[in-house]
Amino acid sequence: MSTSESMFAREELGFVRVASISPSLHVADVEYNVEQITAALERAATQDVQLAVFPELCITSYSCADLFYQRHLLDAALDGLEHIAQATAMLYISCVVGMPILVDGRLYNCAVLMGEGRIAGIVPKTYLPSTGEFYEQRWFTSADRALPPTIELGGRQVPFGTDLLFVAEEMPACVVGIEICEDLWAVTPPSGRLAIAGANVLVNPSASNELLGKADYRRDLVRQQSARCLAAYIYAGVGVGESTTDVVYSGHGLIAENGALLTESERFQMDTQMIVADIDVQRLDHERVKNSSFSQAESADPLRRLPFTLTRAFQPAAPLVNRPLPRTPFVPADPTRRAEHCREIFNIQTVGLSKRLSHVNASHVVIGVSGGLDSTLALLVCVRAFDRLGLDRRGIVAITMPGFGTTSRTRTNAERLAQDLGVTLRTIPIGESVRLHFRDIGHDENVHDVTYENAQARERTQILMDVANQIGGLVVGTGDLSEAALGWMTFNGDHMSMYHVNAGVPKTLVRYLVSWCADELFTGATANVLRDIIETPITPELLPLGKGEQLEQKTEDAIGPYELHDFFLFQVVRYQFAPAKVFFLARQAFAGVYSDEVILHWLGVFYRRFFAQQFKRSAMPDGPKVGSVALSPRGDWRMPSDAASTLWMAEVERLRLAWT
């Protein structure tokens, strides 16, 4: 295997491709059902599925009723199981199928896990519904009684019981636990116990019928159980081929992961339905490691860990991941959901500032406004916080401090916005004071280096702090989460404030928050100014302008596209993924937008800056957390300022050698 193939092997990246399948079935027609199941396995194998889950009692069909007493049907089911096992050997795939199994004179509703022709274990159903249209206790025995640890099947002893965990031989991080239909509806589903014991892939062969509103309830159950167990959950429901004597079945299939629905089947289809997704066990294990409640939970009794084959299917060097992969993980693509996020985040920001102002009994704040996105959002937060507290907006002192790189567009927008909002506007040019400072320290004004830039940022911060002292107010910071991650700020300059309202907001989301404010909270001239600010190029305005106020400094030219950096930030901080996996996900998310070379270049920049700039984050002022990714040194991100980036940069370099 080549270096690139090794880096992007599915097992190395932590992905397992699974399928939920609802085959076309005939009631009690085992031969037909087995044909449909094996045909579905063949189709799944062509899509590199490694584990396929079929519905409850699918070999016989669920709705056989008193035909379950027929030994002829039970024997046919055993023969059918052997045919399916042979198919798994030929197709290099594992699967879970449902069937009735007779053990010591008792009939059990069972799920069988097998792969490469070998049955790994059999799990009987615990909770047997016997109300309304369900009467399983008429035929089946619950697994809550004493069970033999093994049963004889096909001439060999096979593990049997509800205490089984199935560990993939080729990928030990993948541990499968099985519960059956009604088990999920129970007060304490078996999947909870299985998850505590290590199962991170939960499967449920089911036969839930359809009633008005039941699909929504079922969907929520699956999502919530996957979240509660910090696991993937694969649900496979029987289809319309079941008996319609009193009820109708729909073939509902669901695949969820830690509370998120990855994919869902279309219900009420006459033919076989299959949904496929890649679940990320590496991500799930990370969630468990971080979750103190999970680490404190204890399993009531030990479970048996059994090996099963998770075939490594043929795949290209860089396979596509089959799961939702948003390019902007901080920004929902759906406009309605995005608006809800913006409303919630804006409320968090304004309430945070309101509480701080109330606590220190302050009726004045000072904020630097540049006509850019970040300071605009911070100013809008100040306005709403003052409105919440019933304070006079004139207590908000907005200071615009034009310097060597300030454009008339940004200065005009800053002034117009302050005037429209009814806050106090002060204009304090910094050119003269910065030139005096250059003379004091012996710096040549024509040398446009880091000293040239940072002197301006620190002069602006000094003005803000001193004016705050004059009026007895707080300095409200304007920098955002993305700038904190990259250290794109001047230490003890714009890095510092008395409350940092944008601290938890990534750059890609700032634009949408300002846009939401323009659409929902403000009208007329104010909204028009906000929309022009949204269209303004991102720049710190620290270098002199060219001819015709031509910008000589654009932030993304210097440090890279924020949409890439925010993508990196989310994967690195939220899930702690290694560079190879971050690159794999980025090259798929941004396919056709950025080349491999460009992605790798900026990934290297991200890691280098993220490590080198930790000292700035270690001295960050207070500010509200708004999402699952935050960098506060007091709660969310604790890293030594002198941590070495060697391991991470070395992997980026290996990727560069393999892919460029």
Known catalytic residues? 56, 125, 181
- With H, G, I as helix, E, B as strand and everything else as coil, classify residue 650: helix
Nearest residue to 273 (alpha-carbon basis) of 320, 226, 321, 240: 240
Q: What value does the CA radius of gyration of the chain take, rounded to a whole number of Å?
A: 30
The first and second tokens of residue 436, run together, are: 């005096």
Angle at alpha carbon of residue 153, lines to 152 and 159, rounded to 5° = 65
User: Could you give the CA distance from residue 442 to residue 129 in angstroms, rounded to a whole number?
Assistant: 85
Burial class (CB in 10 A: 0-12, 13-18, 19+), 72: exposed
Strand bridging mode 474-477 / 232-237: unpaired
In the numeric block, the tokens 């050698």 are attached to 657
In the numeric block, the tokens 């996996």 are attached to 581
- Helix 596-612 and helix 562-569: axis angle, to 10°? 60
Nearest residue to 476 (alpha-carbon basis) of 305, 295, 354, 612: 354
DSSP class per residue in 161-196? SS-EEEEESS-TT-EEEE--THHHHSSS-HHHHHHH
The first and second tokens of residue 186, run together, are: 């129970």
Strand bridging mode 106-115 / 150-153: unpaired
User: Could you give the CA distance from residue 239 to residue 58 in angstroms, rounded to a whole number?
Assistant: 10
Q: Tell me if 515 sits within 8 A of 527, measured CB to CB.
A: no
User: Could you give the CA distance from residue 624 to residue 345 in angstroms, rounded to a whole number?
Assistant: 10
Please name the residue ranges forming H helices in 306-446. Answer: 335-359, 373-389, 408-421, 431-441
User: Could you give the CA distance from residue 195 to residue 87 in angstroms, rounded to a whole number?
Assistant: 30
The first and second tokens of residue 373, run together, are: 């996105």
In the numeric block, the tokens 């059994």 are attached to 306
- Helix 562-569 and helix 507-520: axis angle, to 10°? 110
Q: List, in order, residues 6 or more apart from 523 with CB less than 8 Å away.
A: none
Q: What is the dihedral of CA 201, 202, 207, 213, to 10 degrees?
A: -100
User: Could you give the CA distance from residue 500 to residue 490 in angstroms, rounded to a whole number?
Assistant: 15
User: Could you give the CA distance from residue 496 to residue 489 in angstroms, rounded to a whole number?
Assistant: 9
